[in-house]
Amino acid sequence: MESSEMAVIEYVVAELRDEAAGAGAHVAALAALCDVLAVAADHLFDALPIAEFVARLPRLLASGEGDVPLFAARAIAEVCEGVRPWATSFARYGAIEALRDKLLAIDCIELAEECLRALGVISMECPKECLSHGVPAAVLQFFDFFSMHKQKLVLKIVANVLGDFSAKDAAKAMEAAPVLCNLLQSTDKTILDSAVSCLVLVSDGACDSAQHMEKLYELNAVQATMRLMENDGWKSLSDETLSGILGLLKDLASLSARAVKSLFELNICDLLKQMITYYTSSHSDHNKVQTLVELIYYLMPPLEMCDHRTELIIAKKNVITEQSGYIQQLASILTFIIQVAKSAALSSICYSCVVVIRNIVELSTPSSLVEVQKTVNLSSLLAGWLARKNRHIIFQTLNVSKTLLRKDQKFFFETFIREGLKHAIDAILTQEKGKSRLPESCLCFDLDLETSTDDACRINNGAILKLAEEIKKNFLVKVAKSPHKFGCAFKSIKEFFSRLNCHATAPPAKDQDLCKQLSDFSRQLLSDELPSTSTFEFVQSGSIKHLAGYLSNGTYFNSNLRNCQDLIGELKEVKIRLQKFTHLALSVDNESSVKPLEILVEKLIDALHVWYDSFPVILADEQCTRESTMIPLRDSGTEEPMSLYIKFSRSAREEELEDYGGVLPVDLSSTPESIEEVLLPEICKRTGNETSYKENTQEANGSRKSVGLRNGDGHKFSRLKFSYKGTQLQSSTPLFESILRSMHEGETDLQIDPSFWDKEHKIVYRRRNKSKKISSHSSYNIQLCRVHEKLEMSLLKDPFFSTILTGKLPGDLDESDPSYNFLFMLKVLEGLNRFSYHLSMDDKLCKFAEGCLQEFDDLKVAICPIPRDQFVSSLLTNKLEQQMQDSLFGDGLIPSWCIYLVETCPFLLSFEARWKYFCLTAHHSFMTDEASSSTETKKYSVTRSKILEDASSMLNKHGSDTKFIEVEFDGEVGTGRGPTFEFYTTVSHELQRVGLGMWRGDDTSQECEAGFVHAPFGLFPQPWSSANTSSQGISLSNVVQKFKLLGHLVARAVLDGRVLDIPLSKAFYKIMLEQDLDIYDIPSFDPKLGKTVMEFQALVKRKKFLEERASNPAADLSYKNVRLEDLCLDFTLPGNPEYELVPGGSEKMVTLDNLEEYVSSIVDATLKSGISNQIEAFKAGINKVFALKTLRLFSEDEMERILCGEQDSWASNKLEDHINFDYGYDANSASVISFLEILREFGREDQRAFLHFTTGAPQLPLGGLASLDPKLTVVRKQCDGKVDNELPSVNTCRHFFKLPPYSSKEIMRQKLKYAIKEDDIESYNARDHQNKPE
Amino acid sequence: MARGENNTGAHGSGNVPPPATAASTAAGTAAASGKQQARGAGAEGQSVVRRLQSELMALMMGGDPGVSAFPEGDNIFSWVGTIAGSAATAYEGTSYRLSLAFPGEYPYKPPKVRFETPCFHPNVDAHGNICLDILQDKWSSAYDVRTILLSIQSLLGEPNNDSPLNTQAAALWPNQDEFRKMVEKLYKPTA
C-alpha cells in the first residue's frame, strides 16, 4: 500500500511539472492526489515533497482551466488539514489570494466550498495575512448560497481572521461588517451567536476610529442588536452573546453620536435598568454589571475635554440636550447606578459608578436631583465614599458633591450637614495636608478608550486637597446651623439612656410608672426620631456605644469592671437589661408596623457599610477572576498549593533567641500561631536555657487548659511577636494576608502581583512580654466556663450573651477598627432577636412570681422577632461572593475577615453566600449540578423489604467517601437519579414508622396515620431512661442505631445534594447545630407539655419569691384554683410511665415542696439525659462524613431548607385536588382562583403560617396536603359589613377556611397575610373557638 | 348573633345517621375500646391511674346535678359519661351518653370526648365529635372530667354558631321552637 501511494505521488509530481500537459492531464493527476491524501496515514505526510506542491498548487488554483482549480483547492485543503504548519508555506506562495479570488468569482459552488475548507485551516495559522488580503469580506460575499454547515464554517473563518488585528487593518475588517450586521436577523441560534461574536471582534479592533463606528451604525447594528434584546429577549441569549452585544453597543456609543441617539430612541435605559436589577440580585455577575455601567457612561459626553474629541463631545451634547426625554431617561437610571455602587464589592466597579453618577448629575435638573436625594439618600452614600481609602473614588465623589452644590446649594447644603458629608470634607482637608502619596492602582483610564500605559495618573498629589478646598470655600462657608442639629440628637440620646439606666436600677415598686414613662419616650425616640435621623447623625451621637454600655452593664467601656466575685449576679443584671430592651425594641406601636429593632439594625448596617475598607478582597489576577463564573473546583491531586516564601529573622534587640537563618515555604492559611510551633524548637537557645525552656513549656501546658473554653478568645497563649516592615502582625490573621495588606496599604482591593510568589518576604520575630491582662482574662474565662455548667437557660450560654457580658467580641478582632462597634452591636441585637421568646417568657415568669401578673393565662409572649434577613448586609455578601470567585480561594486564600464573619457573624451574610462558602471550604470536592455528570459515583443495591438494614450497612461502608452514592433496588429495573432519589425519600419515611421508638408521639397510637408518626410541630427524639434499656419490645440500642443511620443519611444528603422527606422539629435542628436547649424550647415541639411545664415553673418562682419575703406561702400557690397535690402527678415522665424521673419516682407524688425538682427533672429528661444517647449517635453519624461543627454557620430554618428543599408541591396544579370548596364557592369561583394563586406564590414561611392558622400546626402529616383529615375546605364567609374590611377566619375542628369574597386579589393577599401573621402572637382572635362557658 | 350560612335542601336530612352507620359506630367503639384495653394493661400508667381514680372519687362525692361519669368496664382509660339537658333549654328533659378516652399523657393532654347519643347541636357533628376550645388548644391539666362535662352541658344551651360543625343546626338555632322539634325528632337514647 505505502509503496503504491508513493508511486501515485511521484506520478502526480511528474505530471504537474509537465507544463505542456493539458488541463485534462492536470485534473487527472490532482484527482489522484486528492484521493490519496484523503485516506493517507499520518506518516505519509512526512514523506510528501511539499516544496513541489506549495509552489504549484496555488498557481494551478489561480490560473488553471476547467476543473483544475477545484481539485487544486481540494488538494490544498487536504494537505493543510493534515499538516497545519504547511498552511504558512502555502500562504507565502499566494494561496490566500487565489482562494479569495475564486470565492469572489463564485463560478462553481463546489469550488467555493473547497476554498472554504482550505481557508478554514489557513485562517487559523495565518490570520494576519488573511485579513490583509480581504478574506473576511470574500467568504461572506455569497453567504446565503452556502449550506448551513458551510455557513458556520464561514463564520468560523471570519472569527479566526478577526481574532486579533491592528488599527491599520481595521478598514479590511470593516469590509465584513455589512454581511455580519445582516446576519443579526438570523433565526438560527448558532449563526446568530457566531455573527455577534465576529461583529464584536470587528468593533473591538476598529473602536479607535470614529469613522468605522459611524459605518457600523449606518449598517443598523444598533437597531438589530436592540431588537434581539427587547421583550426579555436578552435573557434567552447565551451569556457570551449577550456580553458581546453589550460590548458592541458600548463601542458604538463611545464614538458615534448617532448611535447614542438611536439607543435613546429605542429606550436603552429601560433595558439597562432591567439588566442591572437582574445581575445585581438573583443572578449576580460582576463583569456584566461593569459592562452595563460602562455602556451608560458612553451614552453621555465625557466631562473632561479632549482636544481630538471635541466634535464628538459637542455632537453627543446636542443629542442629549435636544430631547429632554433623554435626560429624563438618564435621570431615571441614576438610582439604579447608586444601588450598584452601594453594594459593589470591588473598588473598580464602585469607581465606574461614581464617575457615571457624576456625569448624570451634571446633566440632571436640580428638581430631579432633589427627588433622588429623598429617594436614595445620595448624600449619605457620598459621605461613605469619602471615607474610603481609594483616592480615585474620593476624587470623583468630591466632584459629584461639587456639582450637587452648584445645582441647588441651599437644599444640598443642609443634607450635606445632616448626612455628614461636610464633616467628611473637613476631615479630608485635615488629613490631606502633610499626607504623603501612597502607591495605588490607577483607575483613571478604566472608562477611557484611549489607554496608554505611559499616561500619568490624573490625580496628582494636590488634586484632592485643591478640590476639597474649592468646595469648602465656594459652597460650605455657612457653619452657623450645624451645632444645633447635632445638639438635638445628642440631647435625645443622652436623655434616653439616662432614663434607661434609671429604669434598670429602679426598685420593683416604682417600676410600673417608670416603665410607662420610658416606654412613651422610647416610642418617640425609636419609632419617630430614629427613622428621620441620618446615618451620620446616628453614628456621631454615640448611641451605639451608649447602648452597648447599657446592655453590658458598663463592661463595654471598661473591661476591668468584670467582677469575678459575683459573676452570677453580673449574668442576672445583663439578662434583665436585655429583657427590658427586648420589650422596647420589638413592641409595635399601633400607628406603625415597623419595629424599632428593624430601624436600629438598618442604621447599623448602613453605618457598617461606611467601613468598606475593613473587608478587603484579595485578587490573584484579573484574567482568572473574569473567567470564573462557576464555583471553582480544586482537585488536590493535580495541583500543588501555592506557597509563600518567608525569611524569618530575629529582631535586632532580641538576645535570648537564635536567628532562624533560612527561608520557609508557608501555606496560604498559615498564621503566626501555627508558624510559632514550627519556629520555636529551632530558635530557642539550648545552652544555659534548658531550665527556662522547661518552665515555659509547663506554662504553655497550663495555658492550654483555656483552649477548651467555649467563649474564650480561642487562641493559645503566644510567646512570640512577629512584625513585617515595622508593623506587628495579628496572631490569628494569615501571614499571607498581613503581608499583602502591608504592601497595599493605600488600597481597598488587594491585587496580587505575579512576583509576589517568587519574592522572599522578611518577617522579624521576638519574644512576647507576659502581661497580667492575659492571665486575668484566662482566669475569668475559666470561671465563666464553670458557671455555664450550672446555668439552665440556653440563652446565657450563647456566644452573643458572652459578647455582651464581657463587652467584647470573640476572637482577637482589632478593637480600634472602625467597624468593631457596629459588628459588636449587630451581634448582640441578632442574638437578642433570636432569643426574644426566651427573654420575654422568662420576664413573664418573673413578673408572675412577683405578683405583677396574676393569671396563668397571662404567660404569653406578645412580641415576635424581626425576620432574620433584616440582618443581611448586601455589601459584605457581595464581597464574600467576589472573594470566592478568585481562583486562589480553593488553595486556602481566605481573608481573615471572611473566616471571622462566617464564624462569628454569619447573620450578616446571605444564605446563598454561606452555602457556597460551605461547599468550597468544608467539601472541596462538592460538585454543582452542572458538573455532577463528570464526577465518579459508587453504586449500591438494596432490598426494599429490608431497606433500613441495607441502608445502614451501605452508609457504614461508604463513610466519608467523596464519590456520589447511586442506589438501585433489587429486582427492579432502573438505576441512577430516580432510584437514588427514591432511596433517600424511602429511608427517611421508614425512619418515621410507628414502633421504632425513635420519636415523641410514637407511643400514642391513636394519633398515628398509616403507620407513621405524625408530629404536627416536627419530630423530636423520644426520651429513654438510662434505667430501662428496653421497653415494649424495643431496645434502646436499636433506637441508637437508627439515630446513627439518620445522622449518616443527613450527612450524605448534604454532601450529595439529595432531598430528605422528614419533618424534623426546629429544636432538633438546633441540636444538629450544637446549640443548647432549655425549658423555653419545649413549646416549639410539644406545646401542651411546654405550656404546663412553663406554668409549673411560674409557680416555682412565685413560691421562692414569697419565701424570700417570709410571706404566708400557702395563701395563693394553687394551680388554677386546684391544689397541686390534687393533680395526682408522680415523678414519672408524662406519657411515659416507665420513665422514672428519680429513683422510685412512680411512688413519689408531686407536691408544692418538690415541684421545682419535678420541673427540672422533666426538662432534663426531655432535652438532655433522656435523649443524650440518641443525640450522640446522631452526631457520630454526621461526624463520620464531615465535621458537624461546619454546619454552625447556618440557622435551623436554613438547615431544613438544605435537607428538605423547598416545598414544590404547592406550586403544582394539584393544589385544588386536595382542597374542597363549598358553601358559596366552587373550583371556578373568581375568589377561589385568586386564593389558589396566592397560596402557590407563598414562600415557605408563609405556607407554614397558613398551615398553623388553618390547622393549628405548622407541619402537615406525611403525604402532605392530601393527608389532611378532614380535608381542607374553603367556604364563603358571610360579611355583615364591608367585605374588604373583613379578615379570613378558620374553624380548626373541621379545617374550614372562611374566605370573604374580596374585590381584588391584592386585597385578598394583604388580608390573608395579616391574618396568618397576627396569629403568631395570639393577639388576633381569628380562630373561631368555643369560649369557655362561665 | 350572626346567622349561619343558608343550607340547601339537599342537606336537610343529612344529619340523621342511618341504622348501618349506627352499627358501624358501635363496632368502631368496640374496636377502640379493645385497643385501649390492650395498651392500658401494658402501660402501667400509675400516675394517670391514680389521677383518674381521684377524679372518680370526687365525682361520686361531688354531687353535681345532671352530670355523671364512670369507667367503662375494667379499663380506667375509657369512661362513659352522661349529661342531662339543662332546664329552660331546647334540651330540657334529654339525657346524652358520651365516651371519654384518656391518653397516656393525661392530664398534660386532653381526653377525646364524643357524643354517643346522636345530638342535634351546632357544634357537634354527625359522628358526635365536639368542637370545644378547652378540649383543644385551651386545654389545661387543671381541668378534669367534672369540668369537661359541665362545660359540655353549658355548650348545649350556648352554642358558638360562628364555628358550626352542623350548619343546619346553626341555621335553625334562632328559631327555638323549630329547633326543639328537631332535637326531639333526632333524640334516640342509647340503651
A548 versus A673: the higher-pLDDT residue is: A548
Q: C-alpha A19: how far from its chain's center? A: 75
Q: How far apart are CA B67 and CA B81, in angstroms?
A: 7
Contacts of residue A100, defined as CB under 8 A and 6 or more positions apart, other chains included, come to A133, A134, A135, A138
Segment among A272-286, A996-1010, A1098-1112, A1141-1155 with least mean pLDDT: A996-1010
The amino acid that residue A694 corresponds to is: K
Quickly list DSSP for A756-806: GGTSEEEEEEEEPPP-HHHHHHHHHHHHHHHHHHH---GGGGSHHHHHHHH
Segment among A375-389, A543-557, B17-31 with least mean pLDDT: B17-31
Phi, psi of A722 (to 5 degrees): -115, 145
Contacts of residue A649, defined as CB under 8 A and 6 or more positions apart, other chains included, come to A659, A660, A661, A762, A763, A764, A765
What distance in Å separates residue A1314's CA from the closest CA in chain B? 21
Of A1128, A1275, A1278, which is closest to B50 when you measure between CB atoms? Answer: A1128
Q: Does B11 touch chain A (CB under 8 A)?
A: no
To the nearest 10 degrees (0 to 180), the angle between helices A324-343 and A366-376 is: 30
Q: How far apart are CA B68 and CA B97, in angstroms?
A: 10
Chain-chain contact of A1120 with B43 (C-beta, under 8 angstroms): no
Q: Which of helix, strand or coil describes residue B73?
A: coil
**Given pLDDT bands bounded at 50, 70 and 90, which one contains residue B76?**
confident
Q: Determine the residue of chain A that is closest to B139 in CA distance.
A: A1088
Q: Catalytic: B119?
A: no
A494 versus A384: the higher-pLDDT residue is: A384
pLDDT higher than threshold 90 for residue A1119: no
To the nearest 10 degrees (0 to 180), the angle between helices A68-82 and A23-38 is: 30
pLDDT higher than threshold 90 for residue A321: no
pLDDT higher than threshold 60 for residue A46: yes
Contacts of residue B171, defined as CB under 8 A and 6 or more positions apart, other chains included, come to B3, B4, B5, B6, B7
Contacts of residue B174, defined as CB under 8 A and 6 or more positions apart, other chains included, come to B1, B3
Q: Does B33 touch chain A (CB under 8 A)?
A: no
Chain-chain contact of B105 with A1088 (C-beta, under 8 angstroms): yes
Cis ω for the linkage preceding B18 (within 30 of 0) = no
Phi, psi of A91 (to 5 degrees): -60, -35
SS3 readout for A1226-1249:
CCCCHHHHHHHHHHHHCCHHHHHH
Of A1223, A1289, A1332, which is closest to B138 when you measure between CB atoms? Answer: A1332
**Given pLDDT bands bounded at 50, 70 and 90, which one contains residue A454?**
low
Quickly list DSSP for A265-284: HTTHHHHHHHHHHHHHTTT-
Residues 169-208 of chain A with CB under 8 A from chain B are: none
Which span out of A163-172, A294-303, A902-911, A1003-1012 was modeled with the highest average pLDDT?
Answer: A902-911
**Given pLDDT bands bounded at 50, 70 and 90, which one contains residue A927?**
very low
**Given pLDDT bands bounded at 50, 70 and 90, which one contains residue A651?**
confident
CA–CA distances in Å: residue A478 to residues A410, A413, A682, A863: 11, 9, 65, 47
Cell of A342: 452601594
How would you label A317-342 residue by residue, b for 16+ Cβ within 10 Å and e otherwise? Answer: eebbeeeeebbebbbebbebbbbbbb
Averaged pLDDT for residues A1131-1144: 86
Averaged pLDDT for residues A45-52: 76
Chain-chain contact of A1135 with B142 (C-beta, under 8 angstroms): no
Of B48, B140, B151, which is closest to A1120 when you measure between CB atoms? Answer: B140
What distance in Å separates residue B174's CA from the closest CA in chain A? 17
Strand order in the sheet with B112-115: B67-72, B75-84, B95-101, B112-115
**Given pLDDT bands bounded at 50, 70 and 90, which one contains residue A437?**
low
Contacts of residue A189, defined as CB under 8 A and 6 or more positions apart, other chains included, come to A238
Averaged pLDDT for residues A600-618: 85
Contact (CB, 8 A) for A1174 and A1143: no
pLDDT higher than threshold 80 for residue A452: no
Q: Which of B90, B119, B124, B131 is catalytic?
A: B131
Length of chain A: 1334
Cα pseudo-dihedral A210, A216, A221, A223, rounded to 10: 70
Q: Does B46 touch chain A (CB under 8 A)?
A: yes
In this structure, the number of other CB atoms found within 10 A of the CB of residue A552 comes to: 25
- Chain B residues near residue A1083 by CB distance under 8 angstroms: none
Query: What are the pLDDT digits (tens) for A544-588?
Result: 878 888 888 888 876 655 555 577 787 878 888 888 788 888 877
What pLDDT score was predicted for residue B22? 36
| Residue recorded with cell 457573624 | A905
**Given pLDDT bands bounded at 50, 70 and 90, which one contains residue A349?**
confident
Query: What are the pLDDT digits (tens) for A90-138?
Result: 887 888 989 988 888 877 888 898 898 899 989 988 887 898 889 899 9
Q: Which of helix, strand or coil describes residue A941?
A: strand
Chain-chain contact of B47 with A1089 (C-beta, under 8 angstroms): no
Element (H, E) at B100: strand B95-101
- Chain B residues near residue A1028 by CB distance under 8 angstroms: none
The amino acid that residue A684 corresponds to is: C
Q: Does A1271 touch chain B (CB under 8 A)?
A: no
Q: Please calculate the CA angle A355-A359-A362 and round it to the nearest 5 degrees.
A: 135
Contact (CB, 8 A) for A814 and A808: no
Phi, psi of A312 (to 5 degrees): -65, -45
Chain-chain contact of A1293 with B162 (C-beta, under 8 angstroms): no
In this structure, the number of other CB atoms found within 10 A of the CB of residue A140 comes to: 26
Cα pseudo-dihedral A881, A884, A885, A890, rounded to 10: -170
Which span out of A767-781, A1245-1259, A1311-1325, B36-50 was modeled with the highest average pLDDT?
Answer: A1245-1259
What pLDDT score was predicted for residue A256? 86
Q: Which of helix, strand or coil describes residue A377?
A: coil
Segment among A676-685, A721-730, A1100-1109, A1167-1176 with least mean pLDDT: A676-685
pLDDT higher than threshold 80 for residue A776: no
What pLDDT score was predicted for residue B128? 92
Which parts of A377-418 fold into alpha helices (H)? 378-386, 391-407, 409-418
pLDDT, mean over chain A: 78
**Given pLDDT bands bounded at 50, 70 and 90, which one contains residue A924?**
very low
What pLDDT score was predicted for residue A1036? 85
Quickly list DSSP for A943-1012: -GGGHHHHHHHHHHHHTT-SSEEEEEETT----SHHHHHHHHHHHHHHTTBTTS--BTTTT-GGG-BTTB
CATH numbers and ranges of domains, chain A: 1-133 (1.25.10.10), 937-1075+1172-1203 (3.90.1750.10), 1087-1167 (no CATH), 1205-1329 (3.30.2410.10)
Residue of B112, B144, B163, B166 to mutate for A, most A C-beta atoms under 10 A? B163
What pLDDT score was predicted for residue B160? 82
Parallel/antiparallel/unpaired status of strands A1296-1299 and A1272-1276? parallel
pLDDT higher than threshold 90 for residue A1171: yes
Element (H, E) at A618: strand A617-619
- Chain B residues near residue A1130 by CB distance under 8 angstroms: 46-47, 50
Query: Which of A923, A1079, A1331 has its CA nearest to residue B162?
Result: A1331
Cell of A1170: 433522656
**Given pLDDT bands bounded at 50, 70 and 90, which one contains residue A1069?**
very high
Q: Does B154 touch chain A (CB under 8 A)?
A: yes
Chain-chain contact of A1329 with B160 (C-beta, under 8 angstroms): yes
Phi, psi of A134 (to 5 degrees): 75, 30
Contacts of residue A1313, defined as CB under 8 A and 6 or more positions apart, other chains included, come to A1246
Query: What are the pLDDT digits (tens) for A976-1007?
Result: 768 887 888 889 888 988 888 899 887 554 44
What pLDDT score was predicted for residue A1137? 81
In this structure, the number of other CB atoms found within 10 A of the CB of residue A1187 comes to: 10
pLDDT higher than threshold 90 for residue A197: no
| Residue recorded with cell 386532653 | B110
A556 versus A910: the higher-pLDDT residue is: A910
What pLDDT score was predicted for residue B2? 34
What pLDDT score was predicted for residue B25? 38
Which span out of A25-39, A79-93, A825-839 was modeled with the highest average pLDDT?
Answer: A825-839
Chain-chain contact of B104 with A1135 (C-beta, under 8 angstroms): yes
What proportion of chain A, given as a percentage, has pLDDT over 70?
Answer: 82
Q: Determine the residue of chain B that is closest to A856 in CA distance.
A: B140
Query: What are the pLDDT digits (tens) for A1274-1297?
Result: 988 877 677 888 888 887 676 878
- Chain A residues near residue B155 by CB distance under 8 angstroms: 1330, 1333
**Given pLDDT bands bounded at 50, 70 and 90, which one contains residue A748?**
confident
What proportion of chain A, given as a percentage, has pLDDT over 90?
Answer: 9
Q: Does A1280 touch chain B (CB under 8 A)?
A: yes
CATH numbers and ranges of domains, chain B: 41-184 (3.10.110.10)
Q: Which of helix, strand or coil describes residue A1114?
A: coil
Category of A1322 on φ-ψ map: left (φ > 0), alpha (ψ -120 to 50) or beta: left
Q: Which residues pair with A750 in a beta bridge?
A: A618
Chain-chain contact of A1137 with B46 (C-beta, under 8 angstroms): yes
Q: How far apart are CA A1036 and CA B148, in angstroms?
A: 38
- Chain A residues near residue B42 by CB distance under 8 angstroms: 1032
Q: Does B165 touch chain A (CB under 8 A)?
A: yes
Q: Does B158 touch chain A (CB under 8 A)?
A: yes
What distance in Å separates residue B103's CA from the closest CA in chain A? 7
Residues 64-93 of chain B with CB under 8 A from chain A are: none
